Every structure is written in C-alpha cells, then in structure tokens.
Amino acid sequence: MDRGAVGTGAPGTAAELHPGIPDGHELLAACCGHIGDQADDHPVTRAARQLAELHLVRRRSPVRAAEIDCRRREIVVHIDRWVSDRTGAPAHARSLGAAVDGLAAAQVRATVLLRDAETVDDERIRAAWFLVGSLANWWGELVEQHVGNVRPYPRRRPRGPR
C-alpha cells in the first residue's frame, strides 16, 4: 500500500478536484492513527495525525493545555501555509488548518465517548460520530471554496516585434 498516496479520486471529492490535497477520508484515517506517521506521508495528513494526538494528550493532561494549544496553533498555520503555497489561494475567512483541527478534536471526542460508554446506544456517541462524518464531508466543500476558483496567473506575451 502506498501510504503517501493522496486522494482516492472518487467523483466529486476534494481528491478528484484538487489531487494535491487529501480528502476527508484520508484526514479521518490520519486522525484515527492509520496514516500520517511516516516521513513520506502527505504533510496535511501528518499534521492531522499530530493534531489528533495533541487533542488526546490535552484530555489526559489538562495542566498542559496552554502548551498544547500553542503547538496546535503552529500546526494550523503550517497547514494553511502549505495549502496557500501550493494552490496560490488567497487568504480565506475559513482556515483549512482550523478545519483539520476541528475534525481531529471531534474524532478524539467521539473515540473517547465510545471507549468510555456503558452502552453503544448512547445518543451522545451517535451525535459525536455524526459530527465527525459531517466535518469530514465538509472538508471537500471547504477545499473547493478555498482553491476552486483559483486561476493560474495569465502568461504575459513577450514584448518586442511580432
């Protein structure tokens, strides 16, 4: 399996429209710890995994919240810069890095709820996993908002005699 591969290319997904940006499934896999731990994995999936790990540590060590939140902000900025550098997309009101951080937080919360629940029929568990799925699906829409209308700069004609 090529762990560094990006995008399933499924019709209508972020991977099909923007092959250099991971889709929601890949981000969720990274948040769950399935990908994103290798040096050759996609930078955004590596960042998603790091964010999920930080959210888990924050739950276990609330006294480190300020330190962890600072590191999360650094990763969010790194994601935003990575996307901007590669797509030429201008600054946007909705941060892609913040969206990845939100997905990571939701996934960690849902996993903790599932692990600690006395019964899997708990409505909180369903709601938590529904949110995870919704955020993963929303990722594709957000990517499209960011880079969907980006056009390459027009090439200038050389000056001089024609």
Across 79-88, average pLDDT: 87
**pLDDT tens readout for residues 51-63:** 999 999 999 999 9
Confidence grade of residue 120 (pLDDT, cut at 50, 70, 90): confident
For tokens 């955020």, the residue is 135
Residue partners of 137: CB distance under 8 A and separation at least 6: 24
Q: How confident is the model at residue 2 (pLDDT cuts 50, 70, 90)?
A: very low
Helical pair 123-147 and 96-116, crossing angle rounded to 10 deg:
170
pTM exceeding 0.95:
no
3-state secondary structure string across 44-85: HHHHHHHHHHHHHHHHHCHHHHHHHHHHHHHHHHHHHHHHHH
Region at 94 (left for phi over 0; alpha for psi -120 to 50; beta for the rest)? beta
Tell me the residue type at 15.
Answer: A
Q: Which of 56, 42, 65 is nearest to 107 (CA)?
A: 56
Average pLDDT, the chain: 83
Predicted confidence at residue 19, as pLDDT, reads 56
126: tokens are: 């369903």
